[in-house]
Structure 1
């Protein structure tokens, strides 16, 4: 049974839920929908894409909210692109932008340049006065790579931040034991993770409500307000992103979660546990 709940001050059987809004900074519409989901809805935190055009707005808009860094090494849209902060050669495609897919990135990325870029993104957010609560990564580029995963853990340990971690079954699928590596480094991460691109988030919430597991579960939203901006850059995923925007402010769903004895938290308690617990290396 997970021991993280106890480290955070709860009983071992307490279900704890983090609902994170990914991709703030990617567009103004993403900022609007994500802020509403946290201030008025069921979300508890967000993660910032520092290289993106609307990142500076998000840093200001979310300055009193719990925000992590969505380490960004890809720019997936055909005509809406962004570049790395460092301009590193191995992080550029033929047009000078970040690669569009994780596979393209993995085929060319120099781990030294990846680490420098991730560090630059974290440091830029700190310069914007973002009180960083955690790290995760866009499109799983660090989590799903045996070569790049150690960078993910190294930065979390150095900056004393918790991580997003794939679910328990991911290690066998990916071919390396990432959860064990993070645990050995003393890095905290939620016990469970629930997300499947293309599956409506409401269905995942229903599954969780039917069987709330003890310990900390992270679920993620990709909320974007509908309108010309979204339909211009991500017309293929309008349904998913607007569904998540609606889900994030669904007061009935929020009440059902809270009334089920599930405690909604952010990554901040995990970060504070790292920073104040003398024995956090032995959290599991």
Structure 2
């Protein structure tokens, strides 16, 4: 079994960068996805050369902050101030009512990828803010963009959820399952067999829960989705133009779990190898 442990939101805030740095050093984190419009991007990029086993991907973003494209060219994606809407429900309603133009999504996502490439990031894969690329129509579009830029892997945010589970985590995973069920992607880019960490976050980001999950579903490749952060006194707030964010509430608990719980021991018990997507051959699904 191969396990990709990916931190979302790199570039958002120094706290996320510190967590990726420390956890990559500990060997618990192998991957992170970067926000092209994140205020901490320039410093975050340096991590890919500091940690040989750390792969960096693109965290495609339609939700938060200032777009990379000229706002006048993507009017269906921005508010009157030229910012991405910053509210998930508002964006979803615009999408469901047909007010989001896929041509503009393609333009903005392509601009984000090119911006990251211009910053010398060796992109290993794609995922997205709030898994919005899983929405019908957007999943195939993200795959098209990945193929255009030679990106071999993309997150398919499919997490198995027991039928007897009735909590917010279940609702998140069920919604994404429905979205993905309406998409019919090609064989490229390749995806992991499943993910874990969308339904189980904060105190539930626990290695024993993960072990139970993979022993039940037996994936050959699985991605752990996590959101650790290590804030320090003197740090500024999250960028106001990004809108309300709950991720800050996950930072400390998920950092504590990854730093202090027996993740590496559990991986060893499972006979699993931590890797990043760039280390996996997309044809064979084995380490290169």
TM-score, length of structure 1 as denominator length: 0.78
Shift of 1:68: 0.3
Hey, what does 2:169 align to over in structure 1? none
Label 1:103 to 1:177 Cα distance change in 2 as closer, same or farther (>3 A): same
Hey, what does 2:211 align to over in structure 1? 209
Shift of 1:273: 2.8
Number of positions where the alignment pairs a residue of Structure 1 with one of Structure 2: 251
Q: Which runs of 5+ in 2 are unaligned?
A: 161-173, 239-243
CA RMSD after TM alignment = 2.7
Label 1:199 to 1:96 Cα distance change in 2 as closer, same or farther (>3 A): same
Label 1:147 to 1:227 Cα distance change in 2 as closer, same or farther (>3 A): same
Q: Does 1:148 align with 2:150?
A: no
Checking the alignment, whether the CA contact within 8 Å between 2:10 and 2:16 is kept in structure 1 is yes
Checking the alignment, whether the CA contact within 8 Å between 1:29 and 1:229 is kept in structure 2 is no
Checking the alignment, whether the CA contact within 8 Å between 2:205 and 2:257 is kept in structure 1 is no
Shift of 1:61: 3.0
After the TM superposition, which residues 1-284 of structure 1 pair with which residues of structure 2 at under 5 Å, given as runs? 15-63=1-49, 64=52, 65-75=54-64, 82-86=65-69, 87=71, 88-106=74-92, 107=94, 108-143=99-134, 145-161=135-151, 162-167=153-158, 173-174=178-179, 176-178=181-183, 181-182=184-185, 184-196=186-198, 199-200=201-202, 202-210=204-212, 211-212=214-215, 213-228=218-233, 232-233=237-238, 237-250=247-260, 252-270=262-280, 272-273=281-282
Shift of 1:42: 0.7
Shift of 1:204: 4.8
SS in 1 for 2:224: strand
Label 1:238 to 1:176 Cα distance change in 2 as closer, same or farther (>3 A): closer
Checking the alignment, whether the CA contact within 8 Å between 1:84 and 1:98 is kept in structure 2 is yes
Shift of 1:25: 0.1
Shift of 1:236: 5.1
Label 1:247 to 1:164 Cα distance change in 2 as closer, same or farther (>3 A): same
Shift of 1:176: 3.6
Looking at structure 2, the residues matched to 172 and 61 of structure 1 have their Cα atoms a distance apart, in angstroms, of 33
